[in-house]
Each structure stands twice: as C-alpha cells, then as structure tokens.
Structure 1
C-alpha cells in the first residue's frame, strides 16, 4: 500500500515507519519540520519526506487537501488533537478510498470503575485532551458507519521507550524519582500507592498500527487499546524498578491532597491527572481482531527507557 504517516518522526512513528517499509509499503513521512526520528534505521532511506505545518495548514485550510493530494491508500494520523482538525482531514479524504488510522489515547476513559476497562465501557472523560480524543473517535466511527472514510482508532497507554522520560511511580515525569529508587532513598507516593498506570512500549504501539493497517477491512469503525499485558500499581512499579537497580525501596505514603507539600504543586498536579484515572485496560479486542501481541511488559518497557536515559546521563545506570 501507499501509506502516509503524519507525525512520522515522533515516539511511535520512529518505530512505525521502518516497520511499514519492511512490510513492503511505500511510505511518505509527513512532519512539521526537519527533525530526525528517535531511532535511525536504514529503512528511512526508502521513505519520501514531506514537510507540512499542520497548525498553520489547519488554520488556512490547506493541510488536509495537501495530505489528500499525496494519493495514499492509507493515512496514519499520529498528531490529531482536535475535532475541527479531524473533520478537515475526513472531509479531504472522503471519496478517495483511503483508510484512516487515528492515534487516540486511553484517556478517552475517565476514572476506572470496572477493570480491565474495555473499549465499550461507559466513558466519563475529563480534561481537554481526553474529551477531544473521545469526540474525534465519535466523529470517525460515525463517518465509517455511514459509508464515508473508513477509520480505525488506536488508543495507546503511557507511551514509553528510549529517547524520552516516562511516567514514574509517583505518576509524573520527575527524573529524581528514578534516582531515588536507585539509591534506596525515600520516595513519597500518594495514598497507599495502589492506583494504576498502564504503560506501553512505543514499538508495541507501532506493532498495533501495523497490524491494524493489515486488517483494516475488519477493524474499520472500531477502536482498540494498545497497552502492555497488564497495568502496574504505583507501589509495584517502584518496587520493580528498585529491584532492577539492585536496591530496596524506601516508600512513604501521604494523602493525595498533601502531596504538593512534599513534591511541589506542578508535579503533584501531573500525579493527580494520572492517578485520578487509574487506567487498567483490556487488550482482548486488539488481540482477537488485530493479532496484537505486546512484546514488552510495563516494567520491561520502562527498563528499556531507563537504560537509554542512563546512557544519556539523565538517571543512574542499572546494576551490571
């Protein structure tokens, strides 16, 4: 197939584009600037690069027609965050025969009630990011059902892997938490540390998109969770990473409302964003329909990311 990937050099695209090339697809990588992928791969030499500014193009109505003009059999959209942006792309692709794969988020679900959360669970999203992604999914599913652009929606969890910080056991991005776990120093966790995070390695997300492309005929009009096999509790993550470092964790628990006094308001707010959802999502639909089979557990994905951060000097190196 001729495949256009929007946001091709991001976290997932850096893994996805080489996968698509190796699968025999003709790939056009669309990026806002000239940034290089997170990971170099010889497959990128076979990729056509196109530079388009989506924000400006959405504002003046030129971005979506430019994508449609590339004549793709499939468009993979990794960086659509608003309903108007999605609507423009759908309008431009309608009638072209192209299938659209959209990157959503598990934040389309609000606070968990029953777990594991299925794609069809009653949703109560909150916050602009989650509510916009939920509304985009509704738009795309409705478009598919009325015979327009066929769409598949993929919802990753907390994307993790080499090249960037990942959500830590405190529920935020503070690199000092990893260092404290490595040294056996005290780490403060909210409540009893039993809220959950659901990480996923970026390459497993890329795998999900590759499989959705291959099976788009049966997947169209549906959404799929792309996460690791199982979510992990804050406490379990802290203990697992401490063990990876060869340390014994020193954990102290405080009520969520007191966390800001311990770590500062900005970090505490990020923690609240994550643990107020406490997602633990099912991958049964993705496994059954797409053949999705994540390679990494939550801990393995995080360890892979930490190994890169350690090599970059941002966190301590693990024990040999």
Structure 2
C-alpha cells in the first residue's frame, strides 16, 4: 500500500516506518522538518519526506495529494483538525488510523479498563481526544471514512526519559534509585501507571493495517501486558540497580510541597488517572502481542540515555 504518516519521525514512527518499509509498503512521512527518528535505520532512505505545517490552509489537501491508500495520523488533537483532514480523504483512502490515548478514560473505572468501559475524561487533552474518538469511530461504523483508533499508554523507548516511579519525568528520581538513595512517594505508592514501548505501539498500528476487517470502527488499547503501581515500580528499579528499596510515603499534599510545581502537577495528572488497561481485544482482533513489559521498556530507555543517568 501507499501509506502516508502525519508526524512519523517521533517516538512511534521511529519503529513504525521501518516496519512498514520492510513489509513492502511505500511510505510518505509528512513532517514539519523539526524531528528526526530516535534511532537510525536504512529504511528511512526509502521514505518520501514532505515538509508542511498542520496549520497551513492547504494542509489536508496536500496530504490527500500524496495519493495514499492509508493515512496514519500521529498528531491530531482536536475535532476541527480531524474534520479538515477527513473532508479531504473521504472516498479516497481505505483506512485512517488515529493515534489516541488511554487518557480518554480519565478517572479509572473497572480495572483493567477495557475499550468499551465508560469514560470519564478530564483535562483538555483527554476530553478533546475522547471527542475525537467518538467522532472518528461513529463515522466509521456508519460506513463513512474507514478508521481505527489506537490508544497508547505512557510511551517509552530509547532517546527520552520515561515516566518515573514518582509519576513525573524528573530524571533525578531515577538517579536517586540507581544510587540507592531514599525516595519518598506520594500517598502509599499504590496508584498505577501503564507504560508501553514505542515499538509495541508501532506493532499495534501494523496489526490494525493488516487486520482491516476487524479493525475498522474499533479502538484498541496499546499498552504493556500489565500496569505498575508506583511502589512496585520503584522497588523493582532499586533491585535492578543492586539496592534494597529505601522508600517512604507522604500524603500527596505534603509530598507536593517538596517538589517543583511542574513535577507535582505532572504527578497529580498521572495518579489522578491511575491507568490500568486491558489488551484482550487488541490481542484477539489485530494480533497484538507486546514484546516488552513496562519494566523492560523503562530499563531499556534508561540504559540508552546519552551519558547514562
């Protein structure tokens, strides 16, 4: 197929583009020209690069002009962005894959959360993505633009700092654990995070393309086989680095006073959602089989950090 990826040089595209090229597809990557893949691969030599900004008035028509059979949209965040693209693609492509997020579920309900469970999104990002998912899948199920939604968890991979056991992205947390220094976690450390390796998200996208008949009109969680609570996550990393855990706990309000406002806010955003998602549907319908546990993905990312921790 001729496949156009919008925003294909990021975390997931680093793995997805080589997968698509090796599978024999002709790939066009639409990019602002500001990002490069996190890992080099010879497959990128066979990719057509088109530089354009999504804010440009002719963006949607320019994507359609690449004459794709399928479009993978990595960077759509509002219904208005999607509708502009959909107008240009209706009747011209066989499959649109939208990269969503597990944050469409917001506050957790049943655990692990299935795609069909009720959603309680909060925050602009989660609410907009939830509205987008409804818009995209409703049309697909009515026989309009054929589409699938892939919902990644906290994406992990070489080249960037993972979400840490305190529920934020401060690399000092990992440094303290690696050195065996004490770490205080909010509450009792029982809130959950659900990572996914970028390669596994790419695998889910490829699975949706391959299993068109069972993927169209559906959403799929793309996460590791199991979520981690903050306490277990921290304890496992202490032991990985050869130390016994040195953890203490404090109520969130107390804990937050010892953190930067940015770190405290990031932690609240994650623990308020405490995602733990099921992948049975993706396994059954698109052959999703994640290769990485959450911990394996995090350790790989930490090992690959330039200069180490």
TM class by shorter chain equals over 0.9
Partner of 2:92: 96
Q: Structure 1 CA distance, aligned partners of 2:241 and 2:233?
A: 12
- TM-superposed deviation, 1:258: 1.4
- TM-superposed deviation, 1:34: 4.8
Match of 1:269 among 265, 270, 284: 265
1:200 aligns with 2:166: no
Match of 2:186 among 187, 190, 198: 190
Instruction: Name stretches of at least 5 consecutive residues in structure 2 with no aligned partner.
Output: none
Partner of 2:31: 31
Q: Structure 2 CA distance, aligned partners of 1:97 and 1:167?
A: 36
Contact between 1:175 and 1:314, CA under 8 Å: does it hold in 2?
no
1:17 aligns with 2:17: yes
Structure 1 residues 30-49: aligned runs within 5 Å: 30-49=30-49
Contact between 1:188 and 1:262, CA under 8 Å: does it hold in 2?
no
1:233 aligns with 2:246: no
- TM-superposed deviation, 1:162: 0.3
Instruction: Name stretches of at least 5 consecutive residues in structure 1 with no aligned partner.
Output: 316-320
Structure 1 residues 1-320: aligned runs within 5 Å: 1-54=1-54, 56-57=55-56, 60=57, 62-309=58-305, 312-315=306-309
Q: Structure 1 CA distance, aligned partners of 2:34 and 2:224?
A: 31
Q: Structure 2 CA distance, aligned partners of 1:52 and 1:144?
A: 27
Q: Structure 1 CA distance, aligned partners of 2:78 and 2:110?
A: 28
Indicate the larger mover: 89-98 or 5-14. Answer: 89-98
Tell me the TM-score normalized by structure 2.
0.98
- TM-superposed deviation, 1:314: 4.7
- TM-superposed deviation, 1:246: 1.0
Give the root-mean-square deviation of aligned CA atoms. Answer: 0.9
- TM-superposed deviation, 1:244: 1.2
User: How many pairs does the alignment contain?
Assistant: 309
Indicate the larger mover: 97-106 or 195-204. Answer: 97-106
Tell me the TM-score normalized by structure 1.
0.95
